[in-house]
């Protein structure tokens, strides 16, 4: 068996500039892209010093770079729409010690920046504020054009990211554009200006969907849309329910329980290839599941 070979090796970066998170980018087939480098394999990376890099997957060369911000720390990179739209989330925002001593409460929990991939372009940045989404807000993510807000009560609430952008965007902004924000004028995406917070949510958006899940665990995917939760009871830990997003109907054979006794709990998720398949991973077994039509038009069946 041939051994893996090294294609290239990245130069050593100091800890203050290390790569925090990364995504592999696959160029779309049949589309005209602005640069020859857009047709080559690449990957997006967010660094500890708040740069978004697009790097060649063949050489590690930096093809594009965007400076994000100096007022917060960005760390998490994920897909909204796979290979189309990505989201970069900040670490949880904290007040300066002097502000905490005066009794000021931090209500903005995270910043979320949205980018289109081909070509790389800035969509917008928004603040996730407890004053808008509730004091129990614990975390936030995006998936398939939906903003997913989880709460420490176990509730998961979904909002339309597109509707939020259309309703609350102050100005559309392009990378490389001169822009005035926060009392400063600079070039969007360049150091030290970064990217502006151009989506200001001033009131609670329309709620699309709400469900309760143990530890706010929530997955969405499949066709038609389904979600995976664990019922919000400690006794249900390790048991997963696959339900229709449209009307909460439990799929036939939709309760998945490996009944495994292990220190490492089993996990379930939708396959990242957007096929709608599910992977149920236990300590010594991996099940590949899929949704299948049943005689009932309202219900799908989970099959292996």
Average pLDDT over residues 210-230: 90
The pLDDT score that the predictor gives to residue 10 is: 82
Q: 152-165 pLDDT, tens per residue?
A: 999 999 999 999 99
**Cβ atoms 219, 228 nearer than 8 A:** yes
Q: Is residue 22, in this structure, part of any structural domain at all?
A: no
Q: Is residue 87 part of a domain?
A: no
Residue 287 counted as domain residue = yes
Cα–Cα distance for residue pair 247/126, rounded to 1 Å: 30
pLDDT at 99 exceeding the cut of 60: no
In a domain, 93, yes or no: no
Residue 140 has pLDDT above 80, yes or no: yes
Average pLDDT over residues 260-275: 80
pTM of the model: 0.88
- Tens of pLDDT, residues 27-84: 877 788 888 888 888 999 999 999 999 999 888 899 999 999 999 999 999 999 989 9
Whether 142 and 80 have beta carbons less than 8 Å apart is answered as yes
Residue 50 lies in a domain: no
Segments forming the whole domain that contains residue 270: 213-303
Q: What is the CA radius of gyration of the chain?
A: 21
Residue 86: pLDDT band with limits 50, 70, 90? very high
Average pLDDT, the chain: 90
DSSP string across 86-142? EEEEEPPP---HHHHHTT----EEEEEEEEETTTTEEEEEEEEEHHHH-TTEEEEEE
Q: Is residue 92 one of the residues assigned to a domain?
A: no
Is the pLDDT confidence value at 87 over 80?
A: yes
Laid out side by side, the sheet with 51-56 consists of 19-25, 42-47, 51-56, 62-67
Report how many domains make up the chain.
1
pLDDT at position 33, please? Answer: 85
Most confident option among 1-10, 98-107, 151-160: 151-160
* Backbone phi and psi for residue 164, each to the nearest 5 degrees, phi listed first: -65, -45
Q: Is residue 64 part of a domain?
A: no
Task: Enumerate residues 6+ apart whose C-beta is below 8 A from 220.
Answer: 143, 144, 146, 148, 226, 227, 228, 245, 270
Please report which confidence band the pLDDT of residue 175 belongs to, taking 50, 70 and 90 as the band edges.
Answer: very high
Is residue 62 within 8 Å of 86, Cβ to Cβ? Answer: no
């Amino acid at each position: 068996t041939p051994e893996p070979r090294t294609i290239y090796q990245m130069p050593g970066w100091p800890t203050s500039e290390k790569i925090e998170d990364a995504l592999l980018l696959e160029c779309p087939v049949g589309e005209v892209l602005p640069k020859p480098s857009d047709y080559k394999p690449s990957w997006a990376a967010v660094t500890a010093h708040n740069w978004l890099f697009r790097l060649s997957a063949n050489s590690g060369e930096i093809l594009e770079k965007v400076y994000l911000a100096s007022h917060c720390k960005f760390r998490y990179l994920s897909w909204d729409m796979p290979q189309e739209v990505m989201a970069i989330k900040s670490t949880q925002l904290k007040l300066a010690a002097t502000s905490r001593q005066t009794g000021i409460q931090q209500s903005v929990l995270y910043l979320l920046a949205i980018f289109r991939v081909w070509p790389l372009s800035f969509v917008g940045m928004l603040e996730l504020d407890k004053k808008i989404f509730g004091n129990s807000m614990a975390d936030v993510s995006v998936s398939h054009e939906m903003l997913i807000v989880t709460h420490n009560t176990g509730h998961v609430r979904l909002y339309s990211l597109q509707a939020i952008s259309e309703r609350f965007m102050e100005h559309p902004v392009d990378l490389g554009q001169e822009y005035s924000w926060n009392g400063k004028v600079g070039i969007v995406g360049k150091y030290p200006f970064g990217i502006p917070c151009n989506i200001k949510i001033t009131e609670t958006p329309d709620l699309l969907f709400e469900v309760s899940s143990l530890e706010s665990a929530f997955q969405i995917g499949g066709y038609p849309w389904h979600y995976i939760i664990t019922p919000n009871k400690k006794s249900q830990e390790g048991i997963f329910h696959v339900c229709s997003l449209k009307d909460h109907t439990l799929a036939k054979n939709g309760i998945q329980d490996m009944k495994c006794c292990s220190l490492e709990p089993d996990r379930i998720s939708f396959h990242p290839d957007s096929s709608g398949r599910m992977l149920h991973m236990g300590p010594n077994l991996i099940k590949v599941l899929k949704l299948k039509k049943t005689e009932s038009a309202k219900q799908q069946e989970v099959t292996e």
